[in-house]
Amino acid sequence: MLSGLLIILIPLFIGYLIPLRQTSTITFINRMLSWIVYAILFFMGISLAFLENLNSNLLAILRYSTVSIIVIMAFNTAGLLLLERASPWRHPHRQEKLPSRIAMALESLKLCGVVLAGFALGLSGMAWLRHATAASEYTLIFLLFLIGIQLRSSGMTVRQILLNRRGTQIALVVVATSLLAGAVNAVLLGLPLKTGLAMASGYGWYSLSGILMTESYGPVIGSATFFNDLLRELLAIMLIPSLAQRSRCAALGLCGATSMDFTLPVLQRSGGVDMVPPAIVHGFLLSLVVPLLMALFA
């Protein structure tokens, strides 16, 4: 466990130590991260194709991801509604015209296409494709290094995090309820407790969680985690507009780590500009927690 923890934390920590101020460099790193994510997901698809008993494994992926997302979302929603009841968060805001949620969903689904493309190539059975797993391991280390730089360049300070009580509260509720859901999933799916907890620790960051879980538990659990977290983002995009009018805590919390970037425009237009600071703090905290918890449980 210690070696796996160090493999994740060392490149992340080294990257976080590098302060960057140049906007052009930060933009290039963000673009490079997208390219690397596509590459690793392509490798994940190839590895999936080399599994023995492929048909039964694909059914297992479907079962794991479906059960996981249902249980996690149910626990998250229950916890966030309780938080809303204990500490109401209301603000009169007329919902602005939203970006096309279908277009945003299709953007996310592109990643599924990359995995499927890798899977299709892997079915060819060419011998050199068996090196895809090793290639993804080295690429993952570089990815974590760049993520460390990205987190540092986000400009979040400890003071800003501590002062935004609402964003921190919601993040803590999401973490706690997700871990409870992970323990329930482990029982329902007949998985070891650590595996269930690790699968529940992605918080919608599918491009990282699927990769980390593939390295730790193999392509079946990794793919299930990827689809579980991808579904979380897609469901959040669809649910935010209606939830923002009823429970702002639930609207923000269900976004998971994506509240800092991908789902932020929908949150802002649905719930108002005052949702932006808590959303950034919430997304930042969960983005920080994902690699730490996954390393711990894996």
As averages over each run of 10 residues, the pLDDT of the chain (298 residues) reads 61 81 82 80 78 76 93 96 88 57 66 82 81 76 80 68 82 96 96 95 85 85 88 82 84 89 76 80 88 85
Domains of the chain, by residue range, sit at 2-297
Q: Which helix (H) or strand (E) holds 116?
A: helix 101-122
- Quick one: pLDDT at residue 57? 82
213, 48 contact by CB (below 8 A): no
Distance, CA of 129 to CA of 118 (rounded, Å): 10
- Residue 52 confidence (pLDDT): 65
> How far does Cα 264 stand from its chain's mean position?
14
Supply the Cα-derived Rg of the chain in whole angstroms. Answer: 19
d(CA 265, CA 107): 15
Q: Where are the alpha helices (DSSP H) in 123-199?
A: 132-153, 158-163, 165-189, 193-199
pLDDT of residue 107: 64
Tokens coding 23: 């906007």
Phi-psi sector, 189: left (phi>0), alpha (psi -120 to 50), beta: alpha
Q: For the whole model, what pTM was predicted? A: 0.76
CB 95 within 8 A of CB 245: yes
Half-sphere exposure of 280 (CA within 13 A, CB side): 16
Query: In sequence order, what are the residues at sequence separation of 6 or more whose Cβ sits closer than 8 angstroms to the Cβ of residue 13?
Result: 148
Q: 36 in helix, strand or coil? A: helix
Whole-number Cα distances in Å, 220 to 26, 85, 230, 293: 34, 39, 15, 20
